[in-house]
Chains A and B, each alone.
Chain A
Amino acid sequence: EDKVVQSPLSLVVHEGDTVTLNCSYEVTNFRSLLWYKQEKKAPTFLFMLTSSGIEKKSGRLSSILDKKELFSILNITATQTGDSAVYLCAGFSQGNTPLVFGKGTRLSVIA
């Protein structure tokens, strides 16, 4: 059975800290890994990763995929209170299969 495991489940940091969120996956016919940020209800798309070792970057957020070790990390530098959210990682297989989600990491950034 396909599964995605995220760690830690929750994290509390101070503004300005750098955080690393982890995601390991076991997905049959793996094609891509996606990161989402969920603040209230709707997850908003952050990154899609398909190739190992190529960092994707957006502002203070960056992510990288390791297809040999089957994991990905999401880094957030100089954290702000607006970064507080649940960060979801999901694996995607070949074809039109649904995403397989991890349970998420709840990040709380305190001033």
Chain B
Amino acid sequence: GAGVSQSPSNKVTEKGKDVELRCDPISGHTALYWYRQSLGQGLEFLIYFQGNSAPDKSGLPSDRFSAERTGGSVSTLTIQRTQQEDSAVYLCASRLRTDTQYFGPGTRLTVL
């Protein structure tokens, strides 16, 4: 597709359940980033992937968070045993050679 796509656009879950969020980057983009934006806050880095290198997981807030990127394209962010503080908009971005990151529409996660 022309841009970064994410699914689902909205997800409501109960505390303690696992969720999976999906990101389809722009075709050919080698770098993929996950960010989180809580209400009224700036974007918080979570994890990024660059080509076949090991991902940089330094932003993941706890071991309940994990992500993978299959075949250098689609990425899935998994949150296990969700907590209410996980409620946020999860944004994915991709880039190729320039510094510009292009963002998807995000997934709004609500944990009840």
Q: Contact flags (1/0) for A36-61 with B, using CB distance below 8 Å?
A: 10001111110010100000000000
Shortest beta-carbon distance from B98 to chain A in Å: 7
**B-contacting residues, A97-111, CB 8 Å:** 97-104
Q: How far is the CA of A4 from the CA of B43 in the complex (A)?
A: 11
From known contacts A96-B48, A96-B50, A99-B101, infer whether A42 and B42 are also in contact, taking CB-CB under 8 Å.
no
- Known: A48-B100, A103-B41, A104-B42. Is A98-B106 also a contact (CB below 8 A)? no
In the assembly, what is the distance between CA of A97 and CA of B101, in Å?
A: 11
Among B43, B102, B104, B105, the most chain A Cβ lie within 10 Å of the Cβ of B43
Q: How near does chain B come to A5, taking the closest CB pair, in angstroms?
A: 10
Known contacts A88-B43, A96-B48, A101-B42; decide if A42 and B106 are in contact (CB<8 Å): yes
Looking at chain B, what size class is its interface with the partner chain? 20 to 34
Task: Determine the distance from Cα of A100 to Cα of B79 in the docked complex, in whole angstroms.
Answer: 23
Given contacts A32-B99, A96-B31, whether A41 and B45 have CB atoms under 8 Å apart is: no
Specify which chain A residues have a CB less than 8 angstroms from the CB of B44 in the assembled complex. 101
Query: Interface digits, B24-42 against A, CB 8 Å rule (1 contact, 0 not)?
Result: 0000000101010000111
A103–B100 Cα distance when bound, in Å, is 19
Q: Which of B33, B102, B105, B108 contacts A98 (CB 8 A)?
A: B33
B91 within 8 A of A: yes
Q: B103: CB under 8 A from chain A?
A: yes
Tell me, in angstroms, the Cα distance from A90 to B101 when the chains sit together: 10
- Cα A34 to Cα B43 in complex, Å, equals 13
Distance in angstroms between the alpha carbons of A13 and B26 in the assembled complex: 36
Interface residues of A (CB under 8 A from B): 4, 31-32, 34, 36, 40-45, 48, 50, 88, 90, 92, 96-104
